[in-house]
């Protein structure tokens, strides 16, 4: 490639590079620097922010609140991913078939995903309310008063409540991506398998699942990244309560930043928060490269 051609390429890529540096690289670098400094309100007002090395990380991981938040984050993420993906895949298989009102029903399904998480969170906070909530009203109307509960203020059901809301939001996203993958599969393969006597289950097991593997991996990766950093939905529904029953890692970092003003420790928690999605992303990119080389 000639020098003039290389310069032309760099010039064309410059706006995108500037955007990435300003909006992605610089905030990450600033957060990383903050995580190794002793930063509090006094420090921000001019009393200095001394270098403390890994002290903020040691403080964060030595607290039981951190490991409690890690456990809640894992439960929230895994439960949401399994339910979103399972229901989304089932609906994608359904909508891949031709039937009346297919397009209309598919469009209605997307409404849940199009709503901002704050709106969805407010909606579910009302529906799960102990006194005026829709779910308790339905149970009472069916004579099932004994099953009513203060879903979001009970420590035993609050996490299930926010998982339920997050699944409702994530199912359409999973469904639409999986549906695109299903409709792109070669139908001749299915016709040939059917002529050879393969049952519906065998076609699903030996054709659909292997052919959909790259799409499924991408959907699960995107779901993991989106779910692992979930903040606004949980903040609106429970604020991390009751009694820290829904305080996942992003809410713990928020607490350290904006309630305790321990900015260095909050930055350290957000750096640790990036580790799992980053490792999974690298694993996915590496696997994708191997798949392409085959």
pLDDT in tens, 53-81: 899 999 999 999 999 999 999 999 999 99
Specify the pTM: 0.89
How far is the C-alpha of 187 from the C-alpha of 185, rounded, in Å? 6
φ, ψ of residue 119 in degrees (nearest 5): -70, -45
Residue 90, C-beta contacts closer than 8 angstroms, at least 6 positions apart: none
Tens digits of residue pLDDT in 208-222: 999 999 899 999 999
| Predicted confidence band of residue 49 (pLDDT cuts 50, 70, 90) | confident
133 touches 127 (CB < 8 A): yes
For the record, the structure tokens of 54 come out as 């890994």
Cβ burial, residue 51 (10 Å; 0-12/13-18/19+) = exposed
Higher pLDDT, 289 or 200: 200
pLDDT tens column, 231-276: 999 999 999 989 889 999 999 999 999 999 999 999 999 999 988 8
Contact indicator for 265, 59 with CB cutoff of 8 Å: yes
Q: What pLDDT is recorded for position 41?
A: 82
Residue 285 has pLDDT above 70, yes or no: yes
Q: How high is the pLDDT of residue 294?
A: 63
Q: How confident is the model at residue 44 (pLDDT cuts 50, 70, 90)?
A: confident
| pLDDT at residue 1, rounded to an integer | 63
Encode pLDDT of 111-135 as tens digits. 888 888 999 999 999 999 988 899 9
């Amino acid at each position: 490639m000639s020098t003039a051609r290389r310069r032309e390429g760099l010039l064309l890529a410059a706006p995108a590079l500037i955007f990435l540096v300003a909006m992605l690289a610089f905030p990450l670098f600033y957060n990383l620097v903050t995580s190794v400094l002793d930063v509090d309100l006094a420090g921000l007002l001019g009393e200095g922010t001394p270098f403390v090395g890994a002290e903020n990380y040691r403080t964060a991981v030595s607290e039981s609140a951190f490991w409690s938040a890690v456990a809640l984050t894992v439960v929230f993420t895994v439960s949401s991913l399994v339910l979103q993906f399972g229901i989304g895949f089932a609906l994608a298989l359904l909508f891949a078939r031709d039937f009346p009102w297919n397009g209309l029903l598919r469009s209605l399904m997307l409404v849940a995903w199009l709503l901002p998480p704050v709106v969805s969170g407010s909606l579910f906070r009302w529906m799960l309310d102990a006194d005026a909530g829709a779910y308790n009203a339905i149970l009472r109307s069916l004579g099932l008063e004994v099953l009513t509960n203060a879903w979001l203020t009970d420590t035993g059901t609050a996490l299930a409540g926010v998982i339920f809301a997050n699944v409702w939001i994530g199912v359409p996203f999973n469904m639409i991506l999986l549906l695109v993958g299903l409709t792109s599969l070669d139908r001749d393969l299915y016709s040939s398998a059917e002529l050879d006597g393969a049952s519906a289950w065998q076609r699903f097991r030996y054709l659909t699942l292997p052919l959909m593997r790259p799409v499924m991996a991408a959907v699960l990766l995107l779901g993991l990244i989106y779910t692992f950093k979930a903040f606004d939905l949980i903040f609106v529904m429970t604020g991390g309560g009751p009694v820290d029953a829904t305080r996942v890692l992003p809410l713990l970092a928020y607490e350290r930043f904006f309630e305790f003003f321990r900015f260095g420790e909050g930055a350290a928690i957000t750096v640790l928060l990036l580790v799992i999605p980053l490792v999974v992303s690298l694993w996915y990119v590496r696997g994708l490269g191997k798949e392409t080389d085959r």
